[in-house]
Amino acid sequence: MGIYGPLHIIVAVLALSPCFASAGDIVHQDDVAPKRPGCDNNFVLVKVPTWVDGVEDIEYVGVGARFGPTLESKEKHANKTRLVLADPPDLCRPHKNKLNREVILVHRGNCSFTTKSNIADGANASAILIINNRTELFKMVCEANETDVNIGIPAIMLPQDAGASLENFIKTSSTVSVQLYSPQRPLVDVAEVFLWLMAVGTILAASYWSAWSAREVAIEQDKLLKDGSDDFTHTENVASSGVVNINTTSAILFVVIASCFLVMLYKLMSLWFMDVLVVLFCIGGIEGLQTCLVALLSCFRCFQHAGESFVKVPFFGAVSYLTLAVSPFCIAFAVVWAVYRRVSFAWIGQDILGIALIITVLQIVHIPNLKVGTVLLSCAFLYDIFWVFVSKLWFKESVMIVVARGDKSGEDGIPMLLKIPRMFDPWGGYSIIGFGDIILPGLLVAFALRYDWLTNKNLRSGYFLWAMTAYGLGLLITYIALNMMDGHGQPALLYIVPFTLGTFLTLGKKRGELKALWRRGAPERPCPHVQFQPSQSQ
């Protein structure tokens, strides 16, 4: 069980670069419908708690219309009102009976939303709930030719499954009551701050570990050269030991392999397939956690002997005693998480396993120069945009968002995510970031620090500080865009790649080092008398 264990799922990890998921899926073919008097509300999510025969039942989520009065924001100020069925069901003709301020449940179709709402208002309803013909929510706007809209009751769209459930209760002679209110979300989600720190901290730790390992290999090369070894090819092999260097072809193939894997996830998304992903994630998490713990414990003198003593294990070869001691804990940790992954605090275990896996991948996988990094991140940039936005044209929904949320799987999202529950948010849910949004730019940031250390550059004259800052800013802009887009998922690499890659290329060009970065990515030291000197500033 060595550091090569996670390699069998690296393709899966890189393929899954989900965007940030939203709290609810709200769609409309015209998101920029013009506002005008009587039709100028902001689209808001609406909580619809229900009671059946006086017993509290399911709480549904709807979306308010562009027209009508706004709803109460606090639950204590919202009235509990009886729900009745419309007659006719589509309410495109006047309601047969006068209502006594009940909430009316209406089917979508056959006439405009404003027509239904005006008829419900005239029938003395207190609000109108319109059942969508799909399981998602829909933004209700005014008709293009409507100039004077004056609707006196709130209008809320419900998803198809919620409306059908309420309708069945009423048809079986049950008394159904509802409460309508729209609590406001905090301007800043504290969970996003912690998630930002988590992503930046993961890349920071992985970069320093990667650079430290590269420097140790360089020092070992210098020792071999100083001893008069003429086999310089052997010293180059030492540098590549335990490391997988990506080439240009692999970077291009990433898009094809990742896209095929993503489509497979989309098509096979089910409870059993999610269980397969959980098993793969646990295997990778065990390997990652074990590698990180062994490396960390080896820094202490009391564990150094155990880390340097090996025993031969069938199927695994030479394994250190420290690895054998740590492995049972890692396996138990992953198994406990898998069994209890649906409990409210399971995200902690998922994040620990995920961070360990990401750090290990960034330690194993390297980009050898800026050319490969540019090709890889450019392909990932196009990949993220295509599967978040363009895929809607073929699949009628965003493939990336559906996979990230784990729709139709019975699970709360795929495991290849870092996530934190939203804090102080009445709507709940999670703030998430995909592994690919950390690993892919992390490869470039780790390369920057390795280059700085091997060329004896300090933080000011090097590239790492700039690359790390650019990643943090790109991720911050992603969160800002997420909040500005009504919570719709955003392709994080759309913002992160231009910041990180653009900063690196611009800085290299300005310093006149772009050619060396582009081709070699490491200093040339062909002569035995040129010895590596660790930077004093590091």
Strands (DSSP E) contained in 125-229 are: 127-131, 137-138, 155-158, 176-179
* 295 within some domain: no
* Residues 6+ away with beta carbon under 8 Å from 443: 246, 362, 365, 366, 367, 373, 376
Average pLDDT over residues 300-325: 81
Q: How many residues does the chain have?
A: 538
Q: Please tell me whether residues 168 and 194 are part of one structural domain.
A: no
Average pLDDT over residues 68-73: 88
Q: Which domain holds residue 70?
A: 44-179
* 354 within some domain: yes
- Is residue 423 predicted with pLDDT exceeding 60? yes
* 416 within some domain: yes
Q: Please tell me whether residues 204 and 123 are part of one structural domain.
A: no
* 13 within some domain: no
Q: Please tell me whether residues 175 and 199 are part of one structural domain.
A: no
Question: In the prediction, which pLDDT does 22 show?
Answer: 38
* 36 within some domain: no
Q: Report yes or no: 46 and 53 within 8 Å, Cβ to Cβ.
A: no
What is the band of 497 on the pLDDT scale with cuts at 50, 70, 90? very high
Give the integer Cα–Cα distance in Å for 394 and 382: 17
* Closest alpha carbon to 298 in 288, 290, 307: 307
CATH number at residue 106: 3.50.30.30
* Residues 6+ away with beta carbon under 8 Å from 466: 448, 503, 504, 507
* 58 within some domain: yes
* Residues 6+ away with beta carbon under 8 Å from 59: 47, 48, 49, 50
Q: Please tell me whether residues 175 and 194 are part of one structural domain.
A: no
Q: Please tell me whether residues 462 and 349 are part of one structural domain.
A: yes
* Closest alpha carbon to 23 in 2, 46, 3: 46
* Closest alpha carbon to 495 in 446, 430, 441: 441
Q: Which residue has the higher pLDDT, 402 or 166?
A: 166
Q: Please tell me whether residues 143 and 212 are part of one structural domain.
A: no
What tokens does 330 get?
């890692």
What is the band of 289 on the pLDDT scale with cuts at 50, 70, 90? very high
What is the band of 524 on the pLDDT scale with cuts at 50, 70, 90? low
- Is residue 534 predicted with pLDDT exceeding 60? no
What is the band of 14 on the pLDDT scale with cuts at 50, 70, 90? very low
Question: In the prediction, which pLDDT does 233 show?
Answer: 47
Give the integer Cα–Cα distance in Å for 153 and 2: 65
* Residue labelled with tokens 């004077």: 148
Minimum mean pLDDT among 184-188, 451-455, 514-518, 526-530: which range? Answer: 526-530
Which span out of 77-91, 144-158, 345-359 was modeled with the highest average pLDDT? 345-359
- Is residue 25 predicted with pLDDT exceeding 50? no
Q: Which residue has the higher pLDDT, 230 or 519?
A: 519
Q: Please tell me whether residues 418 and 473 are part of one structural domain.
A: yes
- Burial readout 316-349 (b: 16 or more C-beta within 10 A, e: otherwise): eeeebebbeebbeebbebbeebbeebeeeebbeb
* 532 within some domain: no
* 77 within some domain: yes
Residues with a catalytic annotation lie at 384, 437
pTM to 2 decimal places: 0.80
* Residue labelled with tokens 């330690």: 363
- Is residue 376 predicted with pLDDT exceeding 70? yes
**pLDDT averaged over every residue in the chain:** 82
Q: Please tell me whether residues 157 and 214 are part of one structural domain.
A: no
- Is residue 58 predicted with pLDDT exceeding 80? yes
Sign (positive/negative) of CA torsion 208, 210, 215, 220? positive
Q: Please tell me whether residues 214 and 122 are part of one structural domain.
A: no
Q: Please tell me whether residues 163 and 197 are part of one structural domain.
A: no
Q: Please tell me whether residues 198 and 148 are part of one structural domain.
A: no
Tally of domains within the chain? 2
Average pLDDT over residues 418-439: 87
- Is residue 344 predicted with pLDDT exceeding 80? yes
